[in-house]
Structure 1
């Protein structure tokens, strides 16, 4: 028996992604002056695409249907950008971009926490009998 709806588990996964992204951004900013440091990026889209391509199985009832199968994976992928270099010391951290990403991620995180808080308030209201 499932105690909570899928919405809460989806919000939990989104919060985990946002937390991981926050750590990656903070690591990039803290290493902005480190020689030969390469910026990292947390990517949920690539993990989602990989999961969609590899995690679903379906019964094909027609030969024209797409065939897809594999195993479930919902991890956040962290990629290192080795193709660019902004500084003479081999470092490729763009602090302005990282600060913009930090602000965007903070807004995203705040929206998620408000949404999950609303879900728990709804559950609390149901438990109390609407009082």
Structure 2
């Protein structure tokens, strides 16, 4: 069984890819904290998209008023997340817009989200293992 065919794992893979790329951008911002006229970059907020296969939508139908409609679009596992220039709260005289404290807060937030996604992934795998075990084991 290919885990990428399960929508939950596809979404988690996309989220982990997004967080990994975001950590790289934040590290680049910190590395360029003394570069003149450097503007810090970030990624647009992550959103889950339902992957469409061969023209047919794999989204769940909204059959009850309480269902949340899913957005259609590209797969969550896309490697191309949109970068944006995200100026911090201050700009120094040399034109550099990186504030190390804000970058460290972003890095910490990104790391916590990454750890949570990894934990959710591991727990989901544990549930699948338990479901595939023979009864009584």
Q: Structure 2 length normalisation: TM-score?
A: 0.68
Quote how far apart the aligned CAs of 1:32 are: 0.4
Runs of 4+ in 1 over 3 A off after TM superposition: 1-4, 70-75, 81-85
Q: Deviations over 1:30-82 (max 9, x none)?
A: 1101111111011135xx5xx8xxxxxxxxxxxxxxxxxx9637542111247
Between structures 1 and 2, the one with greater helix share: 1
- The unaligned stretches of length 5 or more in structure 1 are 52-69
Query: How is 1:106-117 mapped onto 2 (pairs within 5 angstroms)?
Result: 106-117=111-122
Structure 1 counterpart of 2:37: 36
Task: Give runs of aligned pairs for residues 68-107 of structure 1, distance below 5 A.
Answer: 72=74, 74=78, 75-81=80-86, 86-107=91-112
User: How many residues are paired up?
Assistant: 113
**Which structure 2 residue ranges, 5 or more long, are not aligned?**
50-71
- Aligned: 1:6 with 2:7: yes
Instruction: Note the aligned Cα RMSD (angstroms).
Output: 3.2
